[in-house]
Homo-oligomer: A and B are copies of this chain.
C-alpha cells in the first residue's frame, strides 16, 4: 500500500502538496492535482487511510430514480438501506459522458473520496466501461458484466431463467408461434435477453429463427418495423425485452383491432410499477428492485473485503396477470 510519502517521493514534491492535492485544496494547480491523483491511483494508494467517514457513490446514467414510480427508486433505496446502517455515506451522481471523459474512473473516485461505486444504467459504449476492465476501485455494475477484473461485480436478475419462465408460460397455454421484440442490442442486458430467447425456445422444443425477432432503439420504430411482420407470420404470443415496449405493443395491437390476450398474448420484462395497471394488466418477468439494491451493496462490501464476487443473479419471477391466455382456436 502506497503512502502519501511514497507519492511525494515518486513525484519529487512535498508531502504537504500531495496531501493538499488529494484533498482538493485550491492552491494546487489543476495539472499538478491531476498528476498526483493519477500517480496515487497507479501506486495503489487507497483512500481508506485519509478519511474517517467512508463514502460510497451510486453512479447513474439514463436512469430515473427520484420518484417511487420510477424504475431506479427501489434499487437506490435498497442499496442505501444496507449501506447507511453499515456506516457509509452514499452520494448519487448522474454521470454524463463529459464527466467520464474528464478523468478516468479511478481518478474520479479518489478525487471525490469514494471507496466504492454502484453503477446503474451504463451502456456498452460509455467511456468508463473501458476503464472498468482494469480499474482498482471496487464497483458493482447493475446489468453489466466486466470479465476477469476481481474489483468488478455484475448484479442483476437471472434473465435466462426469466426468459425460460416466459416461454414455458406461453407454451403451457398452448402457444407455439412466439415472437420477440427488443430494444437496441447495444446494451449488455438486451444482448443477454436476446440470446436467452433463442435458448429458451430451443429448451421448450419450439422453433425460433431470427425472422421471429426484431430490435430497434426507439419503441415506435421497433413496432412499426417489426410488429406487422411478426403478426403476418402468425404469432400468437409475443415477448418484449422490457415493459415499456410490451405496453406500447399491447396498445398498438389493440389499435390494429386485435384483442389482448384473446388474439395475442403479450409478456413484458421488468415489472415496472405501472405494469400492474396497464390495460390489460401485464404478465411480466419481475425484477425485485429493492433486493437488487441490497444485493448490490452486499457485492460491493464483499469486493471491498477482498471477496471477488463476479456475478450475483437474483431469481426471476413470472407475474401472471391478464395479458396472456390460451390462443384462440
A165 at the interface (CB under 8 A from B): yes
List of B residues within 8 angstroms of A288 by Cβ = 307-308
* Inter-chain contact B150/A317, CB cutoff 8 Å: yes
* Inter-chain contact A308/B312, CB cutoff 8 Å: no
* Inter-chain contact B161/A315, CB cutoff 8 Å: no
Contact with B along A144-169 (1 / 0, CB 8 A): 00011110000001100100110000
List of B residues within 8 angstroms of A149 by Cβ = 315
* Inter-chain contact A295/B309, CB cutoff 8 Å: yes
List of B residues within 8 angstroms of A148 by Cβ = 161, 164-165, 315-316
Within the assembled complex, what's the spacing in Å between the Cα atoms of A314 and B291?
19
A187 at the interface (CB under 8 A from B): no
Question: Are A308 and B298 CB-contacts (below 8 A) given A147-B161, A161-B148?
Answer: no
A123 at the interface (CB under 8 A from B): no
Copies of the protein in its oligomer: 2
Name the one of B294, B302, B312, B317 contacting A311, with C-beta atoms under 8 angstroms.
B312
List of B residues within 8 angstroms of A291 by Cβ = 307-308
Name the one of B147, B308, B309, B314 contacting A308, with C-beta atoms under 8 angstroms.
B314
* Inter-chain contact A309/B314, CB cutoff 8 Å: yes
A313 at the interface (CB under 8 A from B): yes
A310 at the interface (CB under 8 A from B): yes
Within the assembled complex, what's the spacing in Å between the Cα atoms of A316 and B311?
11
* Inter-chain contact B314/A313, CB cutoff 8 Å: no
A126 to nearest B CB, angstroms? Answer: 22
Within the assembled complex, what's the spacing in Å between the Cα atoms of A317 and B164?
31
* Inter-chain contact B315/A312, CB cutoff 8 Å: no
List of B residues within 8 angstroms of A312 by Cβ = 309, 311-313
Q: Which 9 A-B pairs have the closest CB atoms?
A: A310-B315, A311-B313, A308-B315, A158-B310, A291-B307, A150-B315, A310-B313, A312-B312, A308-B314
B-binding residues in A (CB < 8 A): 147-150, 157-158, 161, 164-165, 288, 291, 294-295, 298, 302, 307-317
